[in-house]
Structure 1
Amino acid sequence: MSKLAEYRQLEKHLAEQMQALEALKSDGALKKEIEFETKLRELLNRYGFSLKHIINLLDSQHSTKRASTPAAASGKRKSRELKVYKNPHTGEVVETKGGNHKTLKEWKTKHGADEVESWLKK
């Protein structure tokens, strides 16, 4: 694309965006939102609060829910459950907390994942 064509295309987009901006400026809902934001920021400044203070004040249940979960409080994951699989063909037993066990993978390739999952002891 030539520089002139690019310039004209950008000029056209700019004109379209200016029209959209003018339409928004005359929108009553936008004016109300701007007025609300201005008054809210003035009020926050007058009393020395920040938006985070207001969010915590208004949404106190949300902040207490996040802090009350044990994983969030300790910063640790819940440990995985121990799973015990018993191969009915050989009687071999595999105990694992994850699916990345060498023998378990071999069984799944040989017998199929669904069948091996049916060997899980409850």
Structure 2
Amino acid sequence: MICTVSDPAETAQKRAQAEQFAFDVDAPGLIEVTNESHENPEDHQYIVSIDDVTHELMACTCPHHAHRNAYCKHMAAVENATEEGTLDAFPSEDEDEPDNCDCDGLNGFPCWPCVRTGRKELPN
């Protein structure tokens, strides 16, 4: 009997295509990935980071990547979504302000929702 081991990246790609994922850009280059295929999706949320210069995938907070430093299905899902153009991992700063923006009441200081989404930066 011959046993073959499949390519880990190929396995991650297949799993990414077989499962349903939702994406939220927490900040430029930080994508929250939720696996909607699970009964409790909120228990399966991870952050995938992307290099802001090369736009290459860097890391994921899931156990598979964290413990094995391996390319995972969450990284594959983000890669597929960014390549297809359905996800903008680096939104421009001139996008609409977040619904809960409170910058006007802070005398020029940015509110946390604007900082978190990368729309504005904290002053030094």
TM beyond 0.5 = no
Between structures 1 and 2, the one with greater helix share: 1
TM-score, length of structure 1 as denominator length: 0.22
TM-score, length of structure 2 as denominator length: 0.21
Between structures 1 and 2, the one with greater strand share: 2
| Greater gyration radius | 1
